[in-house]
Amino acid sequence: MNIIDLSHPITPDMPVWPGTDGPQFLSLASIATDGYAELSLCMSSHTGTHIDAPAHMIDGAATLDRFPADHFFGRALVVTVPERPDRRIGLDLLEPLAEEIESAEYLLLHTNWSRFWGLAGYDQGYPVLDESSSEWLAGFSLKGIGVDAPSFDLPESHDYPVHRRLLSTGMILIENLANLQHLPPAGSRIALFPLPIDRAEACPVRGVALL
C-alpha cells in the first residue's frame, strides 16, 4: 500500500486567505529551560488544507464534531480539470462522469492550482465550479468534495453560492489539497480526519490517500 500526503505543511509564513492572520507559534516551554518542549498554536480554523462543515455557511447546520469518524474516510474519484480561459469547472466536464460520481464517496477536483502554493497570486484566479455544476453535484450522495485550490468560490464573492449550495446538502468541502497529481482517477481511498473540536465549523487536516 502506498500513502500519499494530501496536506500542505503548516508554517508561520504559509499562504492564508486574504485578511486572515497566519499561524502563530508561541513557545510555552523548552527542553533547555523546563526539561520539555511545548508550543501554543493560534490559527484560523480554515488554515491550510482544511475541511469546511455545513455550519461554515448554513445557520444551525452540522459542525465537524457531529459527524461520525467514518464520514472522513471513503472511496475517491479524482477528476483532472483542464485549464480554461474562464477558469470555470462546467457540466461539460462533469456530466459524462455521472456514473463514476454516483459510485464514489468523495469527488476530488485536480485543477493543478496547488503548483502555485506559496507564490504570489495563489489566492486569485483559481478555477471554481460554476453554479450549474454545483447545483448538479448537489444531487449526488457524496460525503464531500475536495479541490487543490484556496476556495470553492471566487475571492470577490460575497454570497458564496457554491459553498452554500453544496454545504446545504450536508456534505463537507475540502480546500487547499496537495499532491492530487499522484492519485489515479479511481481506486484510491482518502482519509481526512479533523480534530473533534467542539462546534468547529472548519478544521485543518492531515489528509492522506491510500493506494
How much is the pLDDT for 86?
Answer: 81
Nearest alpha-carbon partner for 153 in 56, 23, 32: 56
Q: Please give the model's pTM, rounded to 2 decimal places.
A: 0.96
User: Any idea what the Cα angle at residue 163 is, between residues 157 and 169, rounded to 5°?
Assistant: 155
Q: Which residues pair with 204 in a beta bridge?
A: 50
Cβ–Cβ contacts within 10 Å for residue 166, how many? 24
Q: For residue 109, what pLDDT is reported?
A: 98
Q: What is the mean pLDDT of the chain?
A: 96
Question: Residue 85: pLDDT above 90?
Answer: no
Percent of the chain with pLDDT over 90: 92
φ/ψ of residue 98, rounded to 5: -55, -45
| C-alpha to C-alpha distance for 77 and 99, rounded to whole angstroms | 11
Place of cell 475541511: 51
Q: Which domains does the chain have, with CATH numbers?
A: 44-210 (3.50.30.50)
Give pLDDT tens digits for 112-136: 999 999 999 999 999 999 999 999 9
